[in-house]
Amino acid sequence: MIPINNIARRRVLRGMFGGAAVSVGLPFLDCFLNNNGAALANGQEMPVCFGTWFQGLGFSQGFWEPKTLGANYEFGPHLKALAPYRDKINIFTGMKVFLDGHPLQVHRPGPQAAFQGGIPTGAEPPSIDQLIADVIGTRARYRSIEVSCHGSAASFSRRSAGSINPSETSPVALYTRIFGPDFRDPNAAEFTPDPEVMVRRSVLSVITDERNALSTTLGAADRARMDEYFTSLRELEQQLELQLQKPAPLAACTVPNKPDEITTGTVIDDALQTNKLFSGLLAHALACGQTNVINVEFGGTASDLRKPGNPQTFHIYSHEEAIDPQLGYQPTVAWFQQQCVDGFATTLKALDSIREGDGTLLDRVLLYYSTDHGVARVHGLDNMPMMTAGRAGNRLKTGMHLQANADTVTRVGLTLQQAYGVPVSAWGSESNRTSKPFTELLA
């Protein structure tokens, strides 16, 4: 994607260094957009976006997999809620996580392999959302936004073990962060750079100017940590710089209503409601160009979601509930799983209901779905449920069921990185390392 803001930015910065706040009169929207709003008027692509969506404890084996391969598949009975989005969803079966003799730290290897390419043995590698954000996230106000729907600030998004992006747990807090006083509406007729933001940005140079003096006195490990700090600081500076620029108008951008305070936590109804509010806010954030990368954790690993008035968690049920011989699955576990599927469908609906030209926001977004176990009951790591939802700006063919023969889950992650232009030919560690993307999906 071409950085569409450069010219405007230089103009604004010149104005800023001239010492006075600059008021920039803006052309009308249709000068910037083509007829249908699907691309900017100069023919440049709308930004392509990426996200992850995580739920713990997977699906009931035999009840989620499509029966036919390729296009026009039908979801297994437990995934019916996703049917309206089938043509935008790729579903993968037969994917596996290899332990390579590492002790099974239950519930951890699944997300580690899906997001980080394997089970870290030394330094933790960055998560896939950050690798992709390096390519698509740098021109947005927030490089990535993380939310968790079950009350915990945990997150898989990280640069390293020591640099984890914490999740937002409150929709009201997220609203304020994105659409609060510092929000610049890309469609506003007038744009005046805020002198306070200019000051905020410029005083940070006091810190960056001292970087060399500081870093040269440190040992290698501390220097790496200090580099992470300065990478983060640079992102903060870029965030502030973007606030000083006239944002490119985005026809589909509207400011959502401020959500009401709600109870957050592990009760499934609360998680669903939190997810609904987060999904709406994130869809608006993407539509308004505030970020290009989002991470949603619906339930954690070893999910502690539970029914109101019932002390047993989804996780406990996954281990203790007997398989109903008539049904062929654990009924309460399947109920929880379907709540999670409903949650995923809610997120897709939020993205798909924002019209952009002939299509929807979901056409330029892709959500990468993963979980911690194939068979949670026994902490199994075979047949891990994996999906992608959204067309990623047509960088990926969609609507396909792909079956692997016990291949590592990292094949999906490698495929996605290549689709987003991450310069990588192989990804992962030990037996979870692969150089085989799903080439049939790459457009």
Partner 1 sequence: MLTRFTGNRLVGGVALAAGVALAAMSSISVAYAAEQAAASGVKDVAPAMRRISSDQYTNIVAAVFGPTIKVGGRFEPDIREGGLFAVGASKVSVSATGIEQYHALARSVAAQVVDDRRRDTLIPCRPASTKAADDMCARQFLAKTGRLLYRRPLTNAELEARVAAAGASATKLGNFYAGLQASLTAMLVSPQFLFRHVALEADPAHPGGMRMDGYTKAAQLSFFLWDSAPDIELLNAAENGDLHTRKGLEKQVDRLLASRKLETGVRALFEDMLRFDEFSTLAKDTAIYPKFTIQAVADAREQTLRTIVDHLLVRRGDYRDLYTTRHTFLTPTLGTIYAVPVADDPLSANGTADAWTPYEFAANDPRGVGIISQVGFLALHSHPGRSSPTLRGKALREVVLCQRVPDPPGDVNFTLVQNTSDKVHRTARERLGAHATEPMCSGCHKLTDPMGYALESFDSDGAFRSTENGAKIDTTGVLDGIAFADAPGLGRAVHDNPQTVSCLVDRVYAYGAGRPIAKAEREQTQALAKDFAKDGYRLPDLLRHVATSDAFYRVAP
Pairing label, strands 365-370, 386-389: antiparallel
Residue number with CB closer to partner 1 (145 or 348): 145
By CB under 8 A, tell whether 214 contacts partner 1. yes
Q: Which of 78, 86, 96, 143 binds partner 1 (CB under 8 A)?
A: 143
Min CB(279)–partner 1 separation in Å: 19
Residue partners of 248: CB distance under 8 A and separation at least 6: 4, 5, 8, 32, 40, 186, 289
Choose which of 129, 146, 241, 270 interacts with partner 1 (CB under 8 A). 146
Assess 139 for contact with partner 1 (CB under 8 A): no
CA-nearest of 140, 120, 4, 128 to 54 is 128
Query: Could you tell me which stretch among 2-10, 23-31, 153-161, 243-251 binds partner 1 (CB under 8 A)?
Result: 153-161
- Does 231 bind partner 1 (CB under 8 A)? Our answer is yes
Which of 220, 439 has the CB closer to partner 1?
220
Please list every residue from 309 through 348 that binds partner 1, using CB under 8 A. Answer: 309-313, 316, 319-322
As given in the structure block, the two tokens for residue 47 are 């930004």
How many residues bind to partner 1 according to rule CB under 8 A? 78
CB 40 within 8 A of CB 248: yes
In the complex, what is the shortest distance from the CB of residue 301 to partner 1, in angstroms, rounded to a whole number? Answer: 13
Distance from C-alpha of 249 to C-alpha of 189, rounded to nearest angstrom? 10
**Applying CB under 8 A, does 228 fall inside the site for partner 1?**
yes
Instruction: Kindly tell me which of 26 and 154 has the beta carbon lying closer to partner 1.
Output: 154
406 is a site residue for partner 1 (CB under 8 A): no
The correct pick among 83, 189, 221, 327 for binding partner 1 (CB under 8 A) is: 221
Q: 267 vs 402, which CB is nearer to partner 1?
A: 267
57: left (phi over 0), alpha (psi -120 to 50) or beta: left
Residue 355: DSSP 8-state: E
Enumerate residues 88-127 that contact partner 1 by CB under 8 A. 99, 103-106
Minimum separation from the CB atom of position 374 to partner 1 (A): 12
Which residues, 8 to 67, sit near partner 1 by CB under 8 A? 19
Query: Which amino acid does the sequence have at 281?
Result: L
Rounded Cα distance between 186 and 245, Å, is 10
- Shortest separation between residue 443's beta carbon and partner 1, angstroms: 30
Binding mask 261-300 for partner 1 (x = CB under 8 A): ----xx----------------------------------
Backbone angles phi, psi at 65, to 5 degrees: -75, 140
Considering only 88, 96, 158, 391, the residue that binds partner 1 (CB under 8 A) is 158
Is 353 a binder of partner 1 (CB under 8 A)?
Answer: no
Query: Taking contact as CB under 8 A, which single stretch among the options 60-68, 111-119, 195-203, 395-403 is the one that binds partner 1?
Result: 195-203
- CA–CA gap between residue 307 and residue 298 (Å, rounded): 15
Closer residue to partner 1 (CB): 137 or 247: 137
List the one residue out of 16, 90, 1 whose CA is nearest residue 442. 90
Segment near partner 1 (CB under 8 A); pick from 43-51, 373-381, 395-403, 421-429: 373-381
DSSP per-residue letters across 266-284: SBHHHHHHHHHHHHHHHHH
Q: Candidates 5-13, 227-235, 246-254, 407-415: pick the segment binding partner 1 (CB under 8 A).
A: 227-235
Burial string for 354-383 (b: 16+ CB within 10 Å, else e) reads bebbebbbbbbbbbbbbbbbbbbbebbbeb
**Both tokens assigned to 255:** 């400011």
Contacts of 290 (CB under 8 A, 6+ apart): 140, 141, 142, 145, 178, 183
Residue ranges in 237-256 that form contacts with partner 1 under rule CB under 8 A: 239
Contacts of 36 (CB under 8 A, 6+ apart): 357, 358
Least CB distance from residue 146 to partner 1, whole Å? Answer: 7
Stretch of 185-193, 194-202, 277-285, 418-426 contacting partner 1, by CB under 8 A? 194-202
